[in-house]
Amino acid sequence: MGQVRGVRKKDTHRSETIRRLAVWLCGVAFLVLAGFGLWLWSYAVTPLPVREESELQVLIPPKTSLAGIERILAESGVIPPGRGFYVLARVSRLSQRLQAGEYRFSPGQTPYHILRALAAGATVRWSVTIPEGSNIYQLADILSRGGWGERELFLELTRDPEIMARHGVRAASLEGYLFPDTYQLVRGQNPREIIALMLERGRQVRQELGDLRDNPLGLTPHEVLTLASIVEKETGAPEERPLIAQVFFNRLRQGMRLQTDPTVIYGLTDFNGNLTRKDLQTPTPYNTYMISGLPPGPIANPGRAAIVAVLQPAPTSYLYFVSKNDGTHYFSNDLAEHNRAVFKHQKGGS
């Protein structure tokens, strides 16, 4: 019996020791976790000291890892060096939601606010305006100068059969279908996304205008955009667009050639800014002095007003117009009147 009681005492003592050790370990773990939590909370809500710069701009390239994002932010002076941001992103479960792009951070923002901004994709958006009547080459220049991709890449994408098929464009290129407007773009945005934005905007505008085949000559939607692009390039005076559209309808109806300079220029590969007689006699698919009817496609990207002018031209019998060198034109019903207007406005006659 004495031996049994001794064994029980030893077991009780051992159990008490284990219990005390477990309590001690739990206490240590609690202190460690509390210390970690306190450190992480302090890091998350403590902004860097205010610097002289009013704002800091940072570009996060696509597919940058969490460690890479932390390094970029630290090198830019947005967050303090160390692994605090990495740990905060992991613990908060926001690490998989961080988005690429250009960000602008104000002085005094905390690491947690910065993390939330990256997770929300609160990127800097730039207003980029594509003027009405810009062709694909001018569009490529605008975007490449702004840092949205290489010029040649953009031009290549405007002739991509897959992109055209996806958006229902049956043409040699996207010329005429990239709607001129002001777009909000972000740095590093894929040129394909930008093209998709412009194509979708054009689709929306055409849908708002109704059936494009409802025009005086029953032109196809592609032909409507082609004629609208010519109208766009012929005048910058809004009130003249319906008049010029009707002139071209009248000429098409009578089987006359359009004889419009902007189409000739578009078809030239080495135009130097001075349209010559030789240029007018150079055969291209766009030389409307030599071909009958419309050229094969748009020569620019027309705006809404130019498209409306083709759908609703002015009721007039004019067949000719000539520039008055003040941004407007003189319209004529016959060739004799037109020649007198040319002599007066272009050759200095009276």
Note whether 110 and 135 are same-domain residues. Answer: no
Range of the domain at 107: 56-120
Q: Is residue 49 part of a domain?
A: no
* Cα separation values, 296 from 21, 104, 218, 225, 291, Å: 88, 46, 17, 11, 10
Q: Is residue 160 part of a domain?
A: yes
pLDDT for residue 87 is more than 90: no
pLDDT of residue 138: 96
**Proportion of the chain above pLDDT 70, given as a percent:** 86
Note whether 105 and 62 are same-domain residues. Answer: yes
Q: Is residue 47 part of a domain?
A: no
Note whether 194 and 272 are same-domain residues. Answer: no
Mean pLDDT of 171-195: 93
Q: Is residue 177 part of a domain?
A: yes
Q: Is residue 339 part of a domain?
A: no
Among 72, 96, 120, where does a domain finish?
120
- Write down the mean pLDDT value for the chain: 87
Instruction: Judge residue 296's burial from the number of C-beta atoms within 10 Å of its C-beta, 0-12 exposed, 13-18 middle, 19 or more buried.
Output: middle
pLDDT of residue 94: 87
* Phi, psi of 226, rounded to the nearest 5 degrees: -65, -50
Residue at 187: amino acid letter:
R
pLDDT for residue 181 is more than 80: yes
- Between 5-19, 65-79, 148-162, 315-329, the lowest mean confidence (pLDDT) is in 5-19
Q: DSSP states of 85-147 as a string?
A: HHHHHHHTT-GGG---EEEEE-TT--HHHHHHHHHHT----EEEE--TT--HHHHHHHHHHTT
Note whether 73 and 107 are same-domain residues. Answer: yes
- pLDDT bucket at 223, cuts 50 / 70 / 90: very high
Q: Is residue 17 part of a domain?
A: no
pLDDT of residue 292: 95
Note whether 183 and 232 are same-domain residues. Answer: no
